[in-house]
Structure formats: C-alpha cells, structure tokens
Structure 1
C-alpha cells in the first residue's frame, strides 16, 4: 500500500521578516518556537506567497517589512493573497547593540522575523490607493514650491555676489517688473549667460507651480473632499491648500483614539530624554509628518492675527516663553479645533471652541 503524507499547519503561525531591496529580498522564516530558514529570492510578493503556501499549507501567515522606497505595493499584494502583512517604521524595530555593530541583510530580516513572532511590532497606517495618489498631488505641489524658492534664492545670491543692488520688496514678490529688470541688466557675456540660465530655471519652476496649483484646486473641489475642506476652513488661519493637505494626510480622523495620538502623528510633541532625576527637552520630535506640521505652524501665525481668542492665548503664552515656543502651543490649539470640526462635522464658531 502506498503511503501518502500531507502537511497541514492549521492552527499554527508562520512568520516572515523581509529585508526588501530593489534587486533581491533577504527573508527569514520562523515558527512560534524557532527560526526555520533564511534565504534570498527575487523581489516578488507573489513568489513568497507561493513559497509559504506550498511549504506550510493552511498556516496563519504573518509578514513584515520596513517602510521605504517600495511604499505599500507589496503589502497590498500580500493582502490580496490572504496573507497578513504589516509595514513598520524602521525606528520602531527592537535592535541590540551587537546588531547595530554588525548590520547586514541577514541580521535585518532575522530581527524583523523575531520581533514579529514575539508581537513586538506595530504596523503603520496604510492609506487606500485613492488617498495615497491624492496625497501625492499636494506633496508634489509642495516640492514644486520649494524648487521655485531655491531658484529664487540662487538668483538673489548671485546678484549679491556680483554686487548688484536691488529692492528687497521687489524681489520678495517677483513681479513681472522685477524679472524684466533682471533681463535688462547690462552684463558681460558670461555673466549674462549665467543669469539667463538661472532665470530660465526659475520660470520653468514657476510654470510647474502654476500647473500643480491648478491640480490642487481641482482636487479640492472633488465630492470626496469638498465637505470636509469647507468645515476645516471655518477654522481661522486655515486655507484651501492646508485643508486639503490635512484631509489627504490624515484620512479618517476617527483612526486616532485621542488628541495626543493625533499630536504624535503630526509631530507636535516634545523630544524628551529622561533618566533618573534629569529630564532634557530639546524642541519638537524629529518623528513627524513634516509637511503637515509646517503648514499648521504657518497657519497659526495667521490665526493669531485674525482670531481674537488665539491672539489672547498667544499673548498669555508670550509672558512666560519665547514666541517660537508660544506658536507651537497655538498650533496644538489649531489642531484640536480641526479635530473637533471633523469629528462632529460642524463648522467652527470663533472664540467658542476651546
């Protein structure tokens, strides 16, 4: 009689830690008790899914990789194959001193697999494809604005270096009169070439900003965002672009269980180091949604001029701290107001919401 053996891992968990790279993956496979295998393969979620199901049929699969260049595409492929996959912030992975000194792809994938099997990892939020793509529109807009500013600064620096004086108020707004003046400057041939090239770079960047702005305006009028943007803009100091940035970056406000969790996501929390009786607070944390934090702080400077309640709060803060610290407190108030109108779906009434 022919003997048939069929594997069945029902009720058992299999963990896979992946160190992802463009050309290959290093993978560590573990059970709940021990490491099973470490190997390399092509960068393919489908290939790994097939391997797990073939070698450990009917198991409960858990996969993890670090957030990075590949985004969330692999996570979505694993989820589509029925495999539980999380993406983690590299800074949240437990690491020993020895692992830091002897870092390698093998060490990294084993570290991920072990931490996952022990329940030590928490995945970051995975946005939907639509939210991710919409978010990229406004991120690209912000990149274009920064590129335009860099080109302006290059021209200003070059003019100073050449000893050419100009009105700071004129260069602040970069009117057509100012750019025409730059084009009319009497310079030697080489200097003229340099300035023309820099001006061409600025004009190209400006055209990209205008094109990106039109796309942002179009996106803000979409039905999926229109209502929320209108609500957020009732908060003094918040404009259309900041409101759109908030809804695309945050998504569902109810995913944050508390206001502190939202502050932690934005980055409006202090960077602290406490040991014994000593506690060192060194400004805001480096872990932040930097675009959102910058826009909120920028909007706060507008709010303290337009909202009497914010003006009063800012003046009170300035009695016991520097203005730059006081504006951070105002930004937290702004964030709390935005959270309030989004959770309750009501517009903000000036000097009422605290």
Structure 2
C-alpha cells in the first residue's frame, strides 16, 4: 500500500488511515463524536436533500446554526424550515452573481464561519453550459464551490479554526482532469467523464485549499461518502442503475445490504460529519476520506470501485495548476 506524503514549504500530511475506529456502518450521529456545537455556524450547500440533509439535521441537533443555500427556496423551506437552528438562503451555484450576493449577505452579518460543507452536486446530466460557457457539472460541482469558498474566505479566516468539506466520489477514478479542455469545447461530451472530472477537481481543490489556508487555521477535506440512492441519481435510467447493482429483484431503486460501499443515508453522511467536526482530525487536512477515516492511496490498476484513491487525486502540482485555471474561469483571484 503506497503512502503519499504531500509536502509544501511549511506543510505536510499523510494520505493514510489514522485508524479512527469508525467504518462503513458508522452513522453521521456517531461520527459527530458527541460534540456540542453550540455557537458554531455552518453552511451546507445541498443541505436540504440526501446526504446534505442528514448532515444538516445532525449538526443542527448538536447545537450548530446551519445555513442551507438553495435554488428552490420553497422546496428547501418545506424540508428544513421547521428544524430549529436552520435557516434557508437563496443560492444558484451556476450563477456568479447569485454566489456573490449570498456571500455578501453572510459577510454583512460579521459572523465567523466555522464549517463549510460543499455537498451540492449534479450527476451524469446531458450537456448544458452556464452563461459563461462552462460545462454544467464542472460549473456546479467545482467552479461554483470554488467561488463560494473564495467569497466566504474572510468569515472562514475569522473563525480561526474552520473546516471546509467538499464531497467527491469514487467515480473520480474513472477520469482525469483535463486542464486544456475542461469544458468539452474541443472534444465530444460524455456525461460520466464530465462528472468524474468535476469530482477529481473537488479532491484537487481540497489539496491546494488546505495548503493555502492552514496558516490561517482553515483546514480542508474531501469525502467519498459511498454509494447511496438519493435524488442525485434522478437523471439515471433503470438500465444504468441496474448495471450499478442499484435495482432490487422487484425493479425498484434500492441498494443491496451488507456491502461496505453501499450505504443508507445515515451511513453515507457519516464521513461528511466526521470531516466537518470530529476532533480526531485536529491538526490534519488536505486529505481524501472515506468510511470516516483517511483513505489509502492504491495503484492505478486497482478496481476503481474498491476502497482507496489514485495518486492523481491528491497530486499537489496538478492541484496548483487547477487552482490557477479555476481563478481564470471565474474571473478573479482567490484573495487569501
């Protein structure tokens, strides 16, 4: 098993298990580690659906104030509006103006931001571009969160001990980032390749974000939650889900039980919550996590649906290059 030591001028971190004591059946509540989050403020994109919703419930129950940005305010209010400590705000991750307006509203409150969970995503959709020409999965899953994090940076820094958690996917193993043509302008579009690129971008963003932010007490983590049937799979056909083993004998959308990769919602959100708040990760960052532990690096010829990640997902040189590309695509520099 290869261990990657990512080294910068004043920072190093090992991409290897810390033997957390947790595992694939750990729930989000258990991953919390019994912490009282009273006084903590969290923003969770996608916090009114699927894994984000479970994270919202767990953090709010532990005492945190949770802000849930949403494109559909009515839908979000109907789902999380009655949860104590939860507030819904307007945000469209494919709109630069919407991202800036959301961030400005939060910064105007002069509050610190202790936890930012970038969980919203779209998956395997037909080719659509945002108003700037960026492919929609890359735009929503990576660039939107990159810009959101940049705009919220003053509040994250103000917290002095903040964490950024970005949700990735094991599908990242099936693709490589294309720094020359990230938006499929010069090649045929393929929806799974595009999704994979956006997800490896999430992992690489975490590496460079942690490198740049840890001096200000801001640490970054990326999470593969496992395979869970949520609303994220709404664009997949039954044939595609069947090939993934996600249809039962009745043809219903459901995952088999007793498999370390296939999880229910409570188990799928566990690694997200663990990275967001668990004290076991104090002093660490820039790592890819799964099953509520830091994942191991595996050889590139390893079955992509087995645990672990490929080295390219935590390559610091590639992460630095993607950072520059991302700044160019959103039209401004991340003011650290």
TM-score, structure 2 length as denominator?
0.24
Q: Which has the larger radius of gyration?
A: 1
Higher helix share: 1
Q: RCO higher in 1 or 2 (8 Å CA, sep ≥ 6)?
A: 2
